[in-house]
Amino acid sequence: MQIRRTLRTIAATSVLLLTGAGVAAAQENTRYSLTFDKEVVATCADGSEVTLYFDITVNRHIREADAEGTALVESRNVNYDGYFTHEDSGEVVEFTGTRVVTIDLVADTFTSRGKYRVVTMPGIGPVMLEAGRYVETWVSEERLFEAGPKVSENPEDPSTFALTCSLFGIAG
């Protein structure tokens, strides 16, 4: 989340710029791709590990900028493929996700909405379902609003390991 830290710095200076400069029409639209490295998200009962990584495409749209061209309001349409991998067997469970992120530095908000995780298993259906919308303050990351189901992996919470390991038929 280095991008978010960088934009936080811009947020602090942008508020100062707003007081002395008019708002210019935004014109920048960019597209970029990136890959998030593998991260261990579960250690299963047999000691094996499940990792997760993402291939991501972002379409960034500057909706409002100050006179110097600094983004004040931007949207990012994010499309990605996620890959859970059982490291011992090499088996992979793939899923797709989408989200639209709006960063409003003037209002100090970060809004995310979309279908983050829908992971299904044949004959069972969805085993992970995380979707909906949330709003946070941009600078402090205080959660202001949240809606939608939130059932997915959480590497900081061992109680979710069973769910993640079940993707590979292993106890958590």
More confident residue, 4 or 121: 121
With CA atoms as reference, report the closest residue to 41 among 114, 128, 124. 128
| CA dihedral sign of residues 95, 168, 35, 11 | positive
For the chain, where are the E strands, in sequence order? 23-25, 29-43, 49-66, 71-86, 92-104, 109-121, 125-137, 143-147, 150-151
Q: What is the pLDDT of residue 159?
A: 87
88-122 pLDDT, tens digit per residue, is 999 999 999 999 999 999 999 999 999 999 998 88
> What's the pLDDT band for 27 if we cut at 50, 70, 90?
low
Do residues 67 and 36 touch, judged by C-beta distance below 8 A? Answer: no
Mean pLDDT over all residues of the chain? 85
Q: Phi and psi of 27, rounded to 5°?
A: -140, -5
Q: Which of 25-34, 64-73, 120-129, 147-156 has the lowest mean pLDDT?
A: 25-34
CB distance 95 to 117 below 8 Å: yes
Residue 2 DSSP label: H
**Contact in structure between 51 and 43 (CB atoms under 8 Å):** no
pTM for the complete prediction? 0.77
- Whether the pLDDT of residue 19 is over 70: the answer is no
